[in-house]
Amino acid sequence: MVTLPSGLEEIIADDEDLARYLTSSSQFNATMVKPAAFLPNPKDRETSVFRHGSEPRDRLWAIGVEHAAGGRNLHGAAICKAHHVREAQLEVTADEPPPRHAAIRGWPFSESDPELQKARQKELAAVIASKAVVVHI
Amino acid sequence: MLEPVSIVGLSLGYAALYPYAYGSSAISSEARAVREAVSAVVESAERSQVLFGEKSVAISQIVSLAKECAETGWDGDEAAPINQAVIHTAVKFIRALPNDVPLPEFAPEPDGSISLDWIRSRNRLFSLSVGSTNRLAYAWLDGSDRGHGVAQFAGERIPPRIIEGILGIMNHGNVTLRS
């Protein structure tokens, strides 16, 4: 069993919480986080998340401010379980540094039809978003 | 004898039709027909004004979102900015939405597209991406059913399957969603 610099195990357990930080108030509403919040970055084809749940709240925001917000305001975080990602047929793997960082990988990509690729990604992002809980700052 | 009344409405605004629509005590069949026709015009005009107002708000939200996400890295990572072409297509889409289709919420996407979302509940939603091409990617969740598709939008007429998809989710209708 490999232990990472953060002290976490390298393998992410199914019941581990994952936090996706929200830098725009448009990324969620009163009902849920919107699917767009979980879409991958088109450059590295990954969605950046941190291995943290809604508590302790101070540490959740400290990680977000230091490693995720890039100087922008944080509006909240969408918290889901690793198994929610895996149920969408995606992978989530540890990706340190920074500490506790992980990446959602395995998004469908198609060079020949970018819009179809996007549609597939949106469906999977919607599946994850439907399971996630928004924690507000 | 509807024409003179219509001319009054056009020249003075539909408010001038209120006396004809609601104030008349006429009892002849012709007068009743006129009153009913005028009432329909007034109701239609009022509905249009309400919808135009709502669409104006939606368009303002698009512009505001684009301002918020005008620079690379708006997500704290490497997200692309929302550009003018995307804004124009999103505005055209809103203007082209039929009046019986609810207006969406908006969200930025990491590739610089704008997501238009119709959310009835966390398991019933329709999400459509407006990007820099005339092909729209969309996906939906409908309870345990889900799917995705791509449709063309040239800027004027919204593809029927997108309309059906939105209404199917928002009205809890029996419309079958198609990819």
Structurally, chain B folds into a number of domains equal to 2
pLDDT exceeds 80 at position A117:
yes
Choice between B140 and A1, residue whose per-residue pLDDT is larger:
B140
With contacts defined as CB-CB under 8 Å, which chain B residues touch A114?
133
Shared-domain flag, residues B118 and B164:
yes
Q: Who has greater pLDDT, B21 or A12? A: A12
pLDDT for res B171: 86
What confidence tens digit (pLDDT) does each residue in B112-166 have? 999 999 999 999 999 999 999 999 999 999 999 999 999 999 988 999 999 999 9
Distance between CA atoms of residues B117 and B107, nearest Å:
8
The pLDDT of A62-82, averaged and rounded, is 92
Q: Which of B115, B136, B145, B153 best tests the A interface by mutation, with the highest count of A CBs <10 A?
A: B115
ipTM of the complex as predicted: 0.92
Nearest to A68 by CA among B8, B74, B76: B76
- Mean pLDDT over A119-133 rounds to 97
From A48, A36, A25, A26, select the one nearest A104 (Cα to Cα).
A48
Residue B18 lies in a domain: yes
Q: Are B98 and B143 in contact (CB under 8 A)?
A: no
Both B126 and B172 in one domain: the answer is yes
Does residue B74 lie within any of the structural domains? no
| CA B8/CA B37 separation, integer angstroms | 14
Q: What is the pLDDT of residue B11?
A: 39
CA distance B153 to B157: 7
- Which residue among B125, B133, B148 places its CB closest to the CB of A119? B148
- Of B57, B89, B72, which Cα lies nearest the Cα of B153? B89
Q: Which residues of B touch A118 (CB under 8 A)?
A: 111, 113, 129, 131, 137
Structure tokens at B92: 């055209």
pLDDT of the residue at B27: 64
Q: What is the DSSP string of B79-99?
A: PPPP-HHHHHHHHHHHHHS-T
Range B84-117 burial, b when 16+ CB lie within 10 A, else e: eebbebbbbbbeebeeebebbbbbbbbbbbbbbb
Residue A123 confidence (pLDDT): 97
Note down the domain range covering B43.
1-68
Q: What is the CA radius of gyration of chain A?
A: 14
Confidence (pLDDT) at B42 = 59
Question: What's the pLDDT tens digit per position in B47-78?
Answer: 555 557 888 899 999 999 999 999 999 998 88
B51 in the same domain as B87: no
> Which pLDDT value is given to residue B5?
38
CA dihedral B75, B78, B83, B89 (to 10 degrees): -70
pLDDT grade for A110, boundaries at 50, 70 and 90: confident
Amino acid of residue B142: D
> Which chain A residues touch B147 with a CB distance below 8 Å?
123
Q: Which of A12-26, A88-102, B27-41 has the least mean pLDDT?
A: B27-41
The number of beta carbons lying within 10 Å of the beta carbon of residue B15 is 11
- Quick check: A119 and B137 in contact, CB under 8 A? yes
Is residue B74 within 8 Å of residue B108, measured between CB atoms?
yes
Mean pLDDT over the full length of chain B: 81
Q: Given the structure tokens 């995720």, which residue do they identify? A: A68
Q: Are residues B5 and B87 in the same domain?
A: no
Identify whether the C-beta of residue A28 lies closer than 8 Å to the C-beta of residue A97: no
Q: Is residue B78 part of a domain?
A: no
Nearest to B127 among A27, A69, A122 (CB): A122
Query: By mean pLDDT, which of A69-73, B20-24, B94-98 is the weakest?
Result: B20-24
C-alpha distances in Å from residue A84, one per residue of A11, A55, A79, B6, B116: 16, 19, 10, 59, 23
**What pLDDT was estimated at residue B1?**
38
Which residues of A are less than 8 Å from B119 in CB distance?
29, 31-32, 34
B140's enclosing H/E stretch is: strand B135-142
How far apart, in whole angstroms, are the C-alpha atoms of residue B158 and residue B126? 15
pLDDT at B14 over 50: no
Domain shared by B95 and B178, yes or no:
yes
The DSSP output letter for A35 is G
Q: Does B115 touch chain A (CB under 8 A)?
A: yes
Q: Which of B114, B129, B145 to mutate to test the interface with A (most CBs of A within 10 A)?
A: B129
The conformation of residue A36, written as its DSSP 8-state character, comes to G
Give residue limits of the domains in chain A: 17-136
Do B42 and B121 fall into the same domain? no
Identity of the amino acid at B53: G
Asked whether residue B108 falls in the same domain as residue B59, the answer is no
**Cα–Cα distance, B120 to B122 (Å, whole number):** 7
User: Which residue in this structure is represented by tokens 């995606």?
Assistant: A90
Using one digit for the tens of pLDDT, what is the confidence trace for A36-62?
A: 999 999 889 999 999 999 899 999 999
Tell me what pLDDT residue A135 has. Answer: 95
pLDDT at B80 over 70: yes
Q: Between residues A68 and B90, which one has the greater pLDDT? A: B90
Give chain A's mean pLDDT.
94
Task: For residues B25 and B161, give the distance between their C-alpha atoms in angstroms, rounded to a whole number.
Answer: 46
DSSP A88: T
For residue B58, tell me if it sits in a domain: yes
